[in-house]
Amino acid sequence: MGTRELDANLQAPVVGIRTSPRPAAAVAEFFDSCAESYEDWAAGLRPRVATRLLELVKPEPGAICLDVGCGTGLVAKPLGKLVAPEGHVIGIDISAGMLELARAGAPGNLNYQRLSAEPDLCFRDASFDLVTFGDSLAYLRDPYRSLSEARRVLRPIGRIGISVHRRSLDTLAQQVFFGVLDEFAGEQPIALRQPRNQRSLLGEVGVLKGMLEDVGFTDMTETTFVTGGRVRSAAEWLHMMAGAGPRPYALLHSLGLNFRRRILNAVESEMRRLGEDAFHYHLAYTVVAATGARR
């Protein structure tokens, strides 16, 4: 499939990504609730993705950096050490729970602020040498606008680094589970009911590179980080999947014991049908680094 054809096929889903509401309060609640276990989720996958992101962007000593959606500091903390002693890092997030953990043990050249990245970043033009989105871009309402804002606050040849979940590498067990979840969600009058695939394209090969090129970046490098495993039961499966994002978390934790019991039974039944494929998961991330073209 050529680039032009791929772009055409993405047009409708990208519009969906830009216009589908994702209430900030729901996102903040999810991250507040999972802050303590965030770094340990899926056998410590998230710290490894953060390390790969920093390897790709190659931060230089003395750089002034912004980490958007910094969470517990998985990117910001090591970044602070890499750019020390003259460099500085600002980490922003809307989750008070995540920021509380991030501030523990942070290096002196790292400053955390409870700020939203939307609709615009509250920083002056050309303020930073590096902007990172460590698994945060997919939680923002308008990814194109967020990338444009990153370009605005970067210096002329500043760098950007992004990691995004690549959902097309999900296993059959994951696909079956989210199908079950969507079916049960249809019964519920809750806010987070949009189909999962509306935001599933950001991590696909070439998508972020195309978006970055559109907003003025060049010299792009893209890689995929993949891990996987298997859990032993439907209960363990629901526990792991509840940490995958605000929507499964809300559905699995906010709708009462009867709902959880019903979906547990449904998952057990579907997994029995899968045989050897049951309870097997892949977690893949696309990681991209790019440089701002001269204005």
**Model confidence pLDDT, tens digit, residues 236-246:** 999 999 988 88
In a domain, 259, yes or no: no
In a domain, 270, yes or no: no
DSSP state for residue 59 in the 8-state scheme: P
In a domain, 255, yes or no: no
In a domain, 99, yes or no: yes
In a domain, 67, yes or no: yes
Question: Domain with 220 in it: what CATH number?
Answer: 3.40.50.150
| 121, 149 Cβ separation under 8 angstroms | yes
In a domain, 180, yes or no: no
Question: What is the per-residue pLDDT across 18-67, written as a single tens digit (0 to 9) for each?
Answer: 333 445 777 888 899 889 999 999 889 999 999 999 999 999 999 999 99
Q: Structure pTM? A: 0.87
In a domain, 249, yes or no: no
In a domain, 260, yes or no: no
How many folded domains does the chain comprise? Answer: 1
Query: What CA–CA distances, in Å, run from 69 to 122, 184, 193, 215, 257?
Result: 14, 30, 23, 20, 32
Residue range of the domain that includes 29: 3-168+199-229+281-292
